[in-house]
Amino acid sequence: MARKLGLKKAAKIRIGVLYGGRSGEHDVSLFSAASVFSALDRDKYEETANGIARDGRWYVQDNPRIISDKDFGRKLALKKKGMWLVNHFEQKNTLHLYDLKNKNKEVIVDVVIPVLHGTFGEDGTLQGLLELAMVPYVGADVTGSAVGMDKDIAKRLLSEEGIPVVPSVTINKHLWQDNSKFITQIALEKLGLPLFVKPVCAGSSVGVKKVKKKEMLAKAMNFAFQFDTRVMIEKAVDCREIECAILGNDNPAASILGEVIPNHEFYSYEAKYIDPNGAALNIPAQIHKPLADKIRRNALEGYMALGCSSMARVDFFLDKKTNKFYLNEINTLPGFTSISMYPKLWEATGLKYSDLLDKLITLALDRHRKKLEIKTECV
C-alpha cells in the first residue's frame, strides 16, 4: 500500500551497542551486550556492535557474533580488527566511526546504547564523550553516572535527603599506607565487626571482601585498593537484599520489588556471574505492601537525589531483625541480560524486554532534544 501511495518507509534508527571497556567488569559487559544486541527489533533499528577492548581502543564488529562462554553462557564476541577513529563531523547528533585501515570505512550511529559496567563506562567519562559528540545515548547523563558510581559521594547526598544508608568510612590509598593501624582501630570502634570492604568506584561486587576478624582487614583493604584509589569500610548488616528498577527522566516510575537470595555468604562477583546456582531471584519480593511502597518511594527519591535519568537499579538492605531498610547503592547501568534483575523486574511489572529497550531509546532521544534547546551563547 505504501508503494502505491508513493510513501517512503521511515528510516530505521541506527543503534550502536557499545560494550567491553577498560574495566574489571569487561566480561560482564560482553554478557549483557549479547542479550541487548539480540533483542533489538530489526524492523525498527539498524544496529551495529561497537566493542571497546581492554586497552580502550574501539572496534566496530563487521559480523557481530554471539558465542558460548564457559562462565557466562553466551557473550558478544569482540574482534580487534581495523583502526577506528571516533568522531563527529558532517551530521549533527550522530556518532561517526572511521576505519583508517579500510579506506576510511564509515559507520554512523544515531543512538548509543552503552552496555558498559564499571570504570570508563558508567562513571560519567563515556557519557562526557557522548555529550561532546552531541549524540543521544541510553542511561544516566554525566552527573548521574559519576555520582551513582561514587559510593561515598552518593551516600552523602542520600543522607542529606534523609534516605537511610549503612554507616561507613572512606579511606584513600595514601592515608591507608601511612596510617593503617590507626584506621583499623577507628573503623572497628565506629563500625564493629563484621565489616564489608569495597572499592568506592566499582560495581558487580568487584574487589569486595567480608571481614569477620580484625586480622583480615588489612588484606581486604589491600585487595580492594587494586581496583580503586579509595576504599569504603562499611558496617555489615544481617539483611535481605531488595532491588527496585527505575525507568524515566523527569517523571520516573518504579517497578515492583525483587529479592536476591545468595547461596554464597554474600552476593559476590562469583555468585552474580560465575556460579549458575549463586543466587535465587524472588519476584515479587515477599514484603508487606506498606513497607514495599515505602521502599519504592525511597528508590524514586534516591534516583532523583543523585540526578539520575533514563534508568537505574536501586539496591536496598532490609534488616532481618528490625525490618529497617537502607539504600545500598544506585546502579545507573545495571546488568542487562535476559535473566538480570533489572529487565526481569520490568517484565514482572508488565514491560517485556524488547519494549523496555524501545522505551530506553525513546527516553534517550527525548532527553537529547531537551538538551539541544539549552542556549550555549549569551545573545
The pLDDT assigned to 44 comes to: 96
Could you give the count of Cα atoms lying within 13 Å of 185 in the half-sphere of its Cβ?
A: 4
**What is the three-class DSSP state of 144?**
helix
Q: Which CATH superfamily is domain 149-164+238-370 in?
A: ATP-grasp fold, B domain (3.30.470.20)
Q: Which CATH superfamily is domain 168-235 in?
A: ATP-grasp fold, A domain (3.30.1490.20)
Nearest to 234 by CA among 102, 99, 329: 329
**What is the three-class DSSP state of 243?**
strand
Q: Give the pLDDT band of residue 5 (cuts 50, 70, 90).
A: very low
The pLDDT assigned to 270 comes to: 54
User: 193-219, pLDDT tens digit by residue?
Assistant: 999 999 998 766 778 999 999 999 999
Nearest to 268 by CA among 170, 322, 202, 314: 202
Q: How far apart are CA 262 and CA 238, in angstroms?
A: 13
Q: How far apart are the first and last CA of the chain?
A: 49
CB 317 within 8 A of CB 328: yes
Q: Give the pLDDT band of residue 278 (cuts 50, 70, 90).
A: low
Check the CA dihedral 172-176-182-185 and report its sign.
Answer: positive
Q: How far apart are CA 281 and CA 292, in angstroms?
A: 16
Find the range with the poorest average confidence among 4-8, 99-103, 166-170, 203-207: 4-8
User: 303-346, pLDDT tens digit by residue?
Assistant: 999 999 999 999 999 999 999 999 999 999 998 887 889 999 99
Q: How far apart are CA 168 and CA 162, in angstroms?
A: 16
User: 279-308, pLDDT tens digit by residue?
Assistant: 788 999 999 999 999 999 999 999 999 999
The string over 345-366, giving b where at least 16 C-beta atoms fall within 10 Å of a residue's C-beta and e elsewhere, is bbbebebebeebbbbbbebbbb
| Residues in the chain, total | 379
Domain regions of the chain by residue span: 13-137, 149-164+238-370, 168-235
For 311, phi then psi, to 5°, come to -160, 160
Query: Residue 17 pairs with which residues in a beta bridge?
Result: 49, 113
Q: Give the pLDDT band of residue 34 (cuts 50, 70, 90).
A: very high
Q: Domain 13-137, what architecture?
A: 3-Layer(aba) Sandwich (3.40)
Amino acid at 117: H
